[in-house]
Amino acid sequence: MLHWIKSILGADPSPQYSWVTAKSLFQFVSEHIDLSGKLDEKALVLPDEEPLPPGADLRYAAGLKDALAAISEQGEEEVTQMAEQVVQLLQKVATRGDITAGNQLFNFLVNNGDLMAYIDPVLERVVQLNLEIEPHLYLFAKLLTFECAHRNGVKFGMALLGLCRRDEVLPMLRMLGLHDEFTIYSTIAIIYLSPDPETDLWNLARQVDGWGRVQVVDRLALLAEDEAVKDWLVREGYRNSIMYEYLAYTCALHGELHEKLDVPAIDKQLFAAAGDLLEAMIMGGPAEDINEYEFAAPAIENYVRHARTLADNVHDFYILHEIGNYIALETRDWKVLRNNGWTQDLRSNVLIDIMGIIQQPGWHKRVMAGLQSEESVEYYQAKEAAKILRINTEDIFWHRLRMEPTNSNSWYDVLDHGNGVHIDDAVRYAMETLLQQNVDNEGAAIQAGLSLDFLVNALAKHPGKGETLLLAALQSTQLRSRSMAVRTLSVWEQDDWTPALRDALLRLGATEPHESLRHDIRKVLSGEILDDEESDES
């Protein structure tokens, strides 16, 4: 690997910038590629990742900050000044290989984390100024990309290499693209440098899964001409670990889903993928949805036609029901949606077909099997299907709760069924389990705390019940639990407070270390009701 890098960089690269290192991020990524060509899990967190602040347990997913590039804290004037500062330093590097300027530029990149805020104007100015690529700028870009240990340096170097138009670095840029943090930069460089960007982007897209998949597929779809690529977009391309909704419209449109469904028969894999795409577009969210899909009507009509012979699991049932709900909603602007192929007759016919499928015998058995599933999505869809089919799930929910009494989702199911009519039984069972058992496993302890929080929150609708649970929450070491209990008591009339609850609230008001919660307690004692935003701030 090192020999290969040196053959591209030169045996004795010069000048030697202070940030050049053998322990580069490129070296780190290249050492964590498995036999399948993907990154192993050890590479998910890059060595330059900043440590989490005290009390924090979540960090940005790789590639997320750049995916949110449109959201910038800098104003236009500040961005212009930053871009001009970078360009001035780049000019010194390009014209005379200025080491000091190169080091200053690297420090600027490291200390100004929002690279996406100013990189586009920088690249535009580099093109306008027609900076010399050889001999200095190209070497500087390669060193940043392959021999520095900070992600902003690598990203900036990748962007410069795209402008340099030297395809000898393409294999190494593809390798960096395997990490979601660098995929978007690899993607753009591939578009500039590759003689066959469609194939190269397709290969990269199949090796990434998170934000990298979202970003590369967005651009691959615009280039898709190969029928194999279009087929992959529909069958696999939309799948990612973030949300299918990000890519569903893109893959359906550019993969020509409507044409693939407009045939006498399709295979089960295509049917399942079509269902995923239609469901995600109906759900809507962060990208274009079903209302913007110009082929919505023919795609749905043909999907339902194929469902007559291929729908055989709870997911299929759930999707058909969601499609039915979408079509049946009269408040939609169906006059505008005529542009997507909809007519009143077509909507009526599709609804009739859907009802004929979901009323067939056999669904009850499939739903009951889904309610036993340990897979969360299948179980959720089975719950929804049970409501549609009016299957009594009370015994099933209680059985799952007794099997795993610290599971907050199971507590939700029990209380949600019947709109809380089982609150007394739930409180008694919580006192026997959540408050009596010592939970040694950290994960189970977190779940037990979430379960207690959920129950305490549910008690807001049941004044006078669950005193023991509320007392436990008020005395909890977790700020969230204490806040939840205070909010619930704020909803109750003070006549519903027991003396023990009032005393516990007064004690907490005197000893609570967080001023925001102490402030909330004073408001509650004075008779005010806390809204959700106030509670969340605590």
201 is a domain residue = yes
d(CA 211, CA 497): 49
d(CA 226, CA 452): 54
What confidence score (pLDDT) does residue 58 get? 63
426 is a domain residue = yes
Q: Are residues 141 and 85 in the same domain?
A: yes
CB-hemisphere CA count at 13 Å for 451?
A: 26
Domain boundary among 161, 193, 222: 222
Local confidence band at 502 (pLDDT 50, 70, 90 cut-offs): very high
DSSP 8-state class, residue 39 = B
d(CA 350, CA 300): 8
d(CA 62, CA 31): 18
Instruction: Write phi, then psi, for 73 (nearest 5 degrees).
Output: -80, -20
d(CA 343, CA 462): 48
Q: Are residues 40 and 124 in the same domain?
A: yes
d(CA 530, CA 512): 17
Residue 5 has pLDDT above 60, yes or no: no
**N- to C-terminal Cα separation, the chain:** 52
Using one digit for the tens of pLDDT, what is the confidence trace for 298-340? 999 999 999 999 999 999 999 999 999 999 999 999 999 999 9
Give the number of domains in the chain: 3
55 is a domain residue = no
Q: Are residues 420 and 289 in the same domain?
A: no
CB-hemisphere CA count at 13 Å for 416?
A: 13
Residues of the domain holding 425: 392-537
25 is a domain residue = yes
Domain boundary among 164, 192, 222: 222
Residue 522, burial from CB neighbour count under 10 angstroms (0-12, 13-18, 19+)? exposed
Using one digit for the tens of pLDDT, what is the confidence trace for 424-480? 888 888 888 887 656 566 666 777 888 888 889 889 989 999 999 999 999 988 899
40 is a domain residue = yes
**Helix orientation angle between 442-458 and 408-416, rounded to the nearest 10 degrees:** 20
Q: Are residues 299 and 309 in the same domain?
A: yes
Domain boundary among 360, 377, 411: 360
Q: Are residues 233 and 216 in the same domain?
A: no
37 is a domain residue = yes
472 is a domain residue = yes
435 is a domain residue = yes
d(CA 152, CA 402): 50
Using one digit for the tens of pLDDT, what is the confidence trace for 274-302? 999 999 999 998 889 999 999 999 999 99
Q: Are residues 207 and 86 in the same domain?
A: yes
What confidence score (pLDDT) does residue 529 get? 84
Q: Are residues 199 and 263 in the same domain?
A: no
Q: Are residues 284 and 398 in the same domain?
A: no
The tokens for 501 are: 């609850």
Rg (CA), the chain: 29
d(CA 216, CA 222): 10
Q: Are residues 400 and 521 in the same domain?
A: yes
Q: Are residues 16 and 158 in the same domain?
A: yes
Q: Are residues 177 and 245 in the same domain?
A: no
Q: Are residues 460 and 518 in the same domain?
A: yes
d(CA 205, CA 214): 9
d(CA 300, CA 485): 47
